[in-house]
A and B are shown apart, each in its own frame.
Chain A
Amino acid sequence: MSKKITTLKAVIFLLCSVFLLNSCDTETEKTIPKVHTVEIKQMKFQPAELIVQKGDTVVWINNDIVAHDVTEEPGKAWTSSVMPVGESWSLVVTQSADYYCNIHVVMKGKLIVQ
C-alpha cells in the first residue's frame, strides 16, 4: 500500500513538473525579443516604418552604393555613426523613435514600439 502511494506521488509530481515547465516555455516564448532587419538601399530605409516590441533588436544593413548613418531625430539621442557600404549596425529598441540619415538628411525612418 505504501509503495502504491509513493508511486502515485511520483506520478503526480511528474505531471505537475511537466505542466509547470510547459507554462514556463509559453511565458518565455512571449518575451523572446525578435530581431528585425532594415535594409538601406537606393537611398531609402526599407521598410521605412517598422513596428516592434520593446526589447527587440533592429539591424540596419547598408546595401547601397554610398555610406549612410542612422540617427535618432530630433535630438540625436543615438546614432550609428558612418556606416560604409556593406556594414551593419544594431539597436535594442526601448521606445518609439523617428530617425534619419544625418548624411542624406531627406532619408527618414520610424520605429514604433507596440
Chain B
Amino acid sequence: MPLITTVVLFAIMPFASVFAQENPKLSDPEVASVAVVANQIDISYGEIAKGKSKNEDILKFAETMINDHKAVIAQAAALAKKLGVTPKDNAVSQKLLADAEKTKKMLRSKSGKAFDRAYIDNEVAYHKAVIAVVEGLLIPETDNGELKSLLQNVVPALKTHLEHAVMVQNKIS
C-alpha cells in the first residue's frame, strides 16, 4: 500500500470503512460522483441543524454549509456538463451515503444542547475527513486538469469551514 494511502487512512477514520478495503481506483466520473455526494451529505446535515437547533452560531454555520456546498455542487455540475462527464455512482459514494444515513439518524435522535454538540462535533470530524480524502485521494486520482483544479480550489473552503466549526465547537462546549 503506498505511503500516501496509509497517511490518508489514518486521517479519515470516519471514512475508514470506505477506504480500508483497498486503495480505491477512481475514474474521473467516479471522482465527480464522490465530490458531489460529499457536498450533498454536508448539506443534509445542515438542513437537519436548521430544523432542530436554536443556537445562533450553529444556525449560522449550518446556513453557510448549505450555501457553500450548493455553490460547489453547481460548479461541479457546470464543469461536468462542459466536459461531457456524467458523475458515476461507485462503491465509495454509496458507502458515504450509507454512513451518512447512520449519522443523520443519530443527529435526529438528539435535541437541545446535545444536538448542537453532536452536530458540530460531526462537522469537525467530517471536514477533517473530507479534506484528507480530497487532498489524499480525489486530487491524485483525477486525470482531467479542470476537475483537478476545481478540487484544489475547494480545499481552502473546506479548511475555512473546519476552522469555523472548531471555533463554534469551542464556543458551545
Which of B14-22, B88-96, B135-143, B154-162 participates in binding chain A? B154-162
User: How many cross-chain pairs have Cβ atoms below 8 Å apart between A and B?
Assistant: 37
Shortest Cβ distance from A70 into chain B, in angstroms? Answer: 15
User: Which of B64, B156, B163, B167 is close to A103, meaning CB atoms less than 8 Å apart?
Assistant: B64
Is A65 an interface residue, CB under 8 A from the partner? yes
Q: Is A44 a contact of B167 with CB atoms below 8 Å? A: no
Interface string of A31-66 (1 = CB under 8 A from B): 000000000001110000000000000000000111
| A contact residues, total (Cβ < 8 Å) | 13
Q: Which residue of B lies closest to A101 (CB)?
A: B160
* Interface size, chain B (Cβ < 8 Å): 17
A105 touches B157 (CB 8 A): no
Say yes or no for B83: interface residue by CB 8 A criterion. Answer: no
Complex CA–CA separation, A66 to B66 (angstroms): 11
* Contact partners of A16 in chain B: CB under 8 A: none
Contact between chains at B164 and A66 (CB < 8 Å): no
Question: Counting CB contacts under 8 A, is B55 at the interface?
Answer: no
Are B67 and A67 in contact, CB atoms less than 8 angstroms apart? yes
With an 8 A cutoff between CB atoms, is B153 at the interface? yes
- Which of A42, A64, A67, A106 touches B167 (beta carbons < 8 Å)? A106
A65 with B64, Cβ < 8 A, contacts A105-B164, A106-B160, A106-B163 known: no
